[in-house]
Amino acid sequence: MAKDKDGTVVFSLSGKWVSWAHTVVAYSAFLGALVVGMKLHFRKIVQNEHYGYPDEWFPSVSATIGDRYPERSVFQLLIAVTSGPRFALVLLWYLLTARPNSFLPKFLLFTGLSRTFLCGGWVYITSTDDHQWHDIFMISYLVFTLPWTLGCLALSPMNAQAIKYRKILASAFFGTLVPLIYFFIQHKVHKVPGAYTIYAFFEWSLILFDVGFDAVTALDYAGLEFRVVDVKGVSKGQSGILADSVAEKAKNDKNLKQLVSGKFTWSDLLDSAADIYTGFMFWTVLTSLGVTVWYFPLWHMGISGYEALVMTSIAPYILGIGPLRRFLANHLRLTYLLSLTGLVAFYFPKPTHRLFVTGGGVWFSCLALATAFFAERNNPARLDARISGFSLGLIASSVAKFACYSNNPVWPIMNVENGGWNKTGLVLGILAVLRSTRKATHAQDLSDAKVKKGSSFPISLGLAGMFFGLHSLLSDSSTMITWVWDGYPITGPLAAPHGAYTLLAMGLGFLIGSFRESLGRNWAVYGLGCTGAAILHNNHGWFGYYGALILATYMMSIMPVFIRTAIQYGPATTFGNAFLIYNLLVLAHVWTVAYAFVPGGPLLRERTDLVMTVTMLLIGAGVYSANTFANGGKGKAPASAVISPFQRRVKSYFVYLLTALEMFAIAVAYMRFPTFDYKPYNKEHKVVTAGIWTVHFGIDNNMWSSERRMRDLFKEMEVDIVGLLESDLQRIIMGNRDITQFLAEDLGMYADFGPGPNKHTWGAALLSKFPIVNSTHHLLPSPVGELAPAILATLDVYDELVDVLVFHSGQEEDVEDRRLQSEGIAKLMSNSPRPLILLSYLVTKPLQGNYNTYVSEQSRMKDIDPSDWDRWCEYILYRGIKRVGYARVSRSTITDTELQVGKFVIGGDKESSNTIIPEEQVPEGLRFPAMFNGEGVRGHRYHVFNQPRYFA
């Protein structure tokens, strides 16, 4: 087709009018609906689930454009008219910025068109029509806004005024998200009057900034013109020629250049994705080892011997054997394929077999990691790809856990029944290895002749500190959030949605390490990282979390410079020593809480501060070594200082994939945003069903993740409030997990978790269908044995305040600890002025010893069933409310302890009799589910009494 044809210009229109038409009609749609709604339905559209006028006096966007006629029709009609200019605006931007072999303009064309269709989705499918699809379209639109905005900034023509306005509007848009989320939480969680009105103003601001950002194109499109040309003389007019292209001007920022210039190929993008998935597999296998090892000392109640498998990560030591090192370096595909044994482990039903297969996977994974880095040290582009894949593999692993409620879906404790994607993960792993290793590594000289002389020990220390910091704090996005969690009212971040903040900070650290690598060896930046660690360790709430974000960014930023320094030395001692010291840190990190069960435990009792300090000092040794290498020799800069065009293009692919990962994380955060509109099971009878269960760290008797099985039992038993003990899994040895995330979100319950993992307990948690008004976390006296955690929470139960106390006592051997703890709990209960339910693990016989401190005149508490003599651990006590039922439900193979449940009635007569009555005399709404009578279901049945007990 000819580019130019002579003819008569029938009609011409400046491109700027496309922008003006889009802007005017879009603003008219929103503002027209606002004016009509305020005029006709003011009080209805300012009303929300908590407050109405005069507390709330300005409507949100969704309330304005929602379901009421005629404002909804006004909005939809004008949005339909907006679509024409919108498609033209997107097409003109592509024509303005496109150039041969450039990928970003094509990607922005796809993004712009997708945003347009997604906008139609949430406009014409309201939340009333289909809430799920409305949310899917809305969050997808918001997610696509990020690459659209950044891409337009990157490709802006050299128009200073337009660039200035774009930066202002983009900054305003993204800056508005912070107060928007804050006031939404104030409204949704804290139920603050007027907060939703303030939220609405920020929401409307987003609309103004979003449309305004695209309105800036009027300044760029003024040089473009639409023309209708009569090339066959069928009309009359003046002749003209349609311009085919617009000249482009490059930007000065070389880092921006490398992201938008150069030839794009899907093959190279797949190579980068394969490298990331290879890194994902490494972190998946490494993080799975702890949780599989943990199963055995858990059942042995002490050292089992299987703990020796934590040392499988020191495999790089065998690279000291020259022929073996050269063989592995030249056969990386084989080494990586052997590392996949860690993903095959789920096929083995027996726990010991699964553990040893996982250990083998860790052995080969660490071997492949060290070998690949060392083998590629003379190939800068491939080395960059390996480092970037390793770094983004960690982010991918954390994103996967964020999406799956803190479980990695391809761990060996997962299967198809509990949410696992093991087979899919394994197939993708094989494809990734075949792809990433299809180009043979040219290990020209893998002897020690060309490795740097001198001690590699400082960088080994740095690597150890880095590996441990990444694993213990960043392998799950919620770990540091649990460190700063301090109960209700909420004063800090939530695992969802704020886990996405951690992932964004990690992404920022990756970008810093990739494009400003020298900052990784800067002592001032190291000091900033240490400051972040100190803030995290010593503070709660948002301030503590700000320290966590600083530390996350720093940890990710040092990965390239540390690895690049390490490979200048022999891989055997450098990586072997690093993993050995890393293992010692892992053990020390566990010793801080498991001191009562391990040799030398008291030396590290409650010394997380010491572990954190040592970690940062080790990283400091790595910074020293990196500086020594960078400044060594004859002042020669490291090879990485010169970046080739191919390296730049490789980096750009990883930035694209990082953007995709972060977009997915944001989408997950939106979909997991808590609704806080939970309802009890038997509201009409004002019944509260409360239970206590020791859940054995979320691992069942066959070493499978047990959250879904627990969920099923809680739902079928209609449990409104439950205390979970042995529930703190935020350590390496337990997989850095949080079982409360899945249970709370799936069951629709408020969750309180505490004290946090930096308080050195085995954990206590509270799940409640009723709003938690206030909660405090307590550590009971434990001069000898393990620390005893407690949560004291005040709940709004059918408009009456009721206290619930969840408590785990110390071990049987520590008699004095348990006596002091009983006195402490009795004091907490006596100080409460409200009705109270104790959900506890007491370690005492009924009517004997410390039992008489818990059930006493001081505490004013009553036993749920004084005649039940067959108890030792779990107890339910109460006061100030009427108890109507009590049941003991067998555990099946979920844990080693039964579920105990009590039924209480709020309001009316608060006196309870110990007289047991038959079920026939109990109103049906107050009865326990009949499905657990007799043999029950799935191994759960009413046992001990073989049926529930009811009281007059």
Q: Locate 507 and state its tokens.
A: 């992404």
Distance CA 512, CA 93 (A): 30
Q: How far is CA 558 from the centre of its chain?
A: 22
Task: Answer whether residue 758 shows pLDDT above 60.
Answer: yes
Residues paired with 879 in a beta bridge: 836
40 vs 471, more confident: 471
Least confident of 102-116, 359-373, 879-893: 102-116
pLDDT > 90? residue 813: no
pLDDT at 874 over 90: yes
* Beta carbons within 10 angstroms of residue 386's beta carbon: 23
Q: Does 530 or 26 have the greater pLDDT score? A: 530
Task: Give the per-residue pLDDT at 6.
Answer: 63
Burial zone of 524 (CB within 10 Å; 0-12 exposed, 13-18 middle, 19+ buried): exposed
Look at residue 99 in the predicted model and tell me its pLDDT: 79
What is the DSSP code string of 326-340? HHHHHTHHHHHHHHT
Higher pLDDT among residues 174 and 369, named by residue: 369
Helix (H, G, I), strand (E, B) or coil at 885: strand
Q: How much is the pLDDT for 16?
A: 84
Predicted confidence at residue 164, as pLDDT, reads 86
Query: What is the spatial distance between Cα 936 and Cα 930, in angstroms, rounded to a whole number?
Result: 9
- DSSP single-letter state for residue 474: I
Residues 368, 703: contact at Cβ < 8 Å? no
Residues 6+ apart with CB under 8 A from 773: 488, 489, 793, 794, 795, 796, 801
Question: Could you give the percent of the chain with pLDDT greater than 70?
Answer: 92
What are the structure tokens assigned to 84, written together?
Answer: 């024409």
End-to-end CA distance of the chain, in Å?
Answer: 92
Q: Sheet of 800-808: strands edge to edge?
A: 772-780, 788-797, 800-808, 836-841, 874-879, 862-863
Please, what is the angle between helix 332-339 and helix 422-436, to 10°? Answer: 170
Q: Is the pTM of this model over 0.85?
A: no
The whole-angstrom distance between residue 488's C-alpha and the CA centroid of its chain comes to: 21
Lowest average pLDDT, out of 254-268, 282-296, 668-682, 933-947, goes to: 254-268
- Told to judge if 808 belongs to the known catalytic residues of this protein, a careful annotator would answer yes
Least confident stretch, 56-60, 181-185, 410-414, 678-682: 181-185
Encoding tokens for residue 53?
């006028």
Write the burial class of residue 348 (CB in 10 Å: 0-12 exposed, 13-18 middle, 19+ buried).
middle
Taking alpha carbons only, the member of 586, 492, 593 closest to residue 547 is: 492
Q: Alpha carbon of 167 to those of 19, 142, 152, 741: distances in Å?
A: 18, 18, 10, 38
Q: Is the pLDDT of residue 239 over 50?
A: no
Residue 440 has pLDDT above 80, yes or no: no
What mean pLDDT comes out for the span 286-298? 93
Q: What pLDDT sits at residue 257?
A: 46
Q: Please give the pLDDT value at position 453.
A: 63
CA distance 28 to 26: 5
Res. 460: pLDDT tops 70: yes
Q: Average pLDDT for residues 436-445, to the nearest whole number?
A: 64
pLDDT band with cut points at 50, 70 and 90 for residue 250: very low
d(Cα 89, Cα 17) in Å, to the nearest integer? 10
Give the pLDDT mean for 659-688: 90
Out of 22, 537, 808, 940, pick the active-site residue. Answer: 808
Q: What are the tokens at 624?
A: 């020293």
Lowest-pLDDT range, 76-80, 359-363, 756-760?
76-80
* C-alpha pair distances (Å), 899 with each of 512, 582, 710, 729, 888: 50, 39, 10, 20, 6
Decide: helix, strand or coil at residue 942: strand
- Using an 8 Å Cβ cutoff, are 529 and 575 in contact? no
Grouping H, G, I as helix, E, B as strand and the rest as coil, residue 774 is: strand
User: Residue 206: which H helix or E strand, with range?
Assistant: helix 195-215
Structure-model confidence comparison of residues 70 and 1, the more confident one: 70
Angle at 796 between CA 791 and CA 802, to 5 degrees: 60
Work out whether the CA dihedral 7, 13, 19, 22 comes out positive or negative.
Answer: negative
The 3-state secondary structure of 729-769 reads: CCCHHHCCCCHHHHHHHHHCCEEEEECCHHHCCCCEEEEEC
CA distance 379 to 20: 51
> Are 569 and 448 contacting, i.e. CB atoms less than 8 angstroms apart?
no
pLDDT of 633 reads 43
Using alpha carbons, list the distances in angstroms from residue 621 to 161, 175, 464, 626. Answer: 48, 37, 10, 9
The residue-averaged pLDDT of 856-877 equals 94
Identify whether the C-beta of residue 116 lies closer than 8 Å to the C-beta of residue 145.
no
What single string gives the DSSP state of each residue in 409-458?
A: TTSTT--TTTT--HHHHHHHHHHHHHHHTSSPP--S--SGGGSPPS--HH
Please tell me the distance from the alpha carbon of residue 162 to that of residue 212, in angstroms, as a whole number.
12
Under the banding of pLDDT at 50, 70 and 90, the label for residue 234 is low
pLDDT > 50? residue 180: yes
Omega before residue 923 within 30° of 0, cis: no
> What is the chain's mean pLDDT, rounded?
88
Q: Are 215 and 182 in contact (CB under 8 A)?
A: no
Which ranges of 222-350 does DSSP label H, i.e. alpha helix? Answer: 254-260, 266-300, 322-330, 332-339, 341-344
Let me know: does 701 contact 893? Beta carbons within 8 Å.
yes
Output 395 or 908, whichever has higher pLDDT.
395
Lowest mean pLDDT among 3-17, 525-539, 548-562, 683-697: 3-17
Q: Point out the least confidently predicted range of 238-247, 272-281, 869-878.
A: 238-247
pLDDT for position 355: 96
Is there a contact between 379 and 647 (Cβ–Cβ < 8 Å)? Answer: no
Decide: helix, strand or coil at residue 938.
coil
Query: Is residue 301's pLDDT more than 80?
Result: no
Please say if the pLDDT value at position 258 is more than 80.
no
Residue 444 or 104, more confident:
104
The residue among 161 and 775 whose pLDDT is bigger is: 775
As a whole number of Å, the CA-based R_g of the chain is: 31
Q: Which of 233, 209, 237 is nearest to 149 (CA)?
A: 209
Residue 67 has pLDDT above 70, yes or no: no
585: part of which helix (H) or strand (E)?
Answer: helix 571-594
Residue 247's pLDDT is what? 32
CB atoms within 10 A of CB 143: 21
Distance from C-alpha of 420 to C-alpha of 413, rounded to nearest angstrom: 8
Q: Please state the rounded mean pLDDT for residues 214-231.
A: 81
How far apart are alpha carbons 800 and 884 in whole angstroms? 18
What phi and psi, each to the nearest 5 degrees, are found at residue 949?
Answer: -110, 140
Q: Quick one: pLDDT at residue 863?
A: 96
Share of the chain above pLDDT 90, in %: 58
- 703: three-class secondary structure by DSSP: coil
545 or 451, higher pLDDT: 545
Pairing of strands 687-694, 721-725: parallel
Of the candidates 874, 803, 796, the one whose C-alpha atom is nearest the C-alpha of residue 839 is: 874
Give residue-wise pLDDT tens across range 306-327: 999 999 999 999 999 989 998 9
pLDDT at residue number 264: 65
The percent helix, strand, coil of the chain (3-state, each to 5) is: 55, 10, 30
Q: Is the pLDDT of residue 229 over 90?
A: no
Q: φ, ψ for residue 904 (rounded to 5)?
A: -135, 155
Joined tokens for residue 102 = 């450039």
DSSP assigned state of 347 = G
- CB–CB of 183/204 below 8 Å? no
Residue 639 confidence (pLDDT)? 43
Model confidence at 595, pLDDT cuts 50, 70, 90, reads confident
Q: How far apart are CA 278 and CA 102, in angstroms?
A: 28
Q: What gap in Å lies between CA 804 and CA 879, rounded to an integer? A: 11
Residue 902 pLDDT class (50, 70, 90 cuts)? very high
What mean pLDDT do residues 208-221 have? Answer: 87
The whole-number average pLDDT for the span 393-398 is 97
Kind and range of the H or E run holding 97: helix 71-97
Distance CA 667, CA 403 (A): 9
Q: Is the pLDDT of residue 208 over 50?
A: yes
Q: Phi first, then psi: what are they for 844, rounded to 5°? A: -160, 155
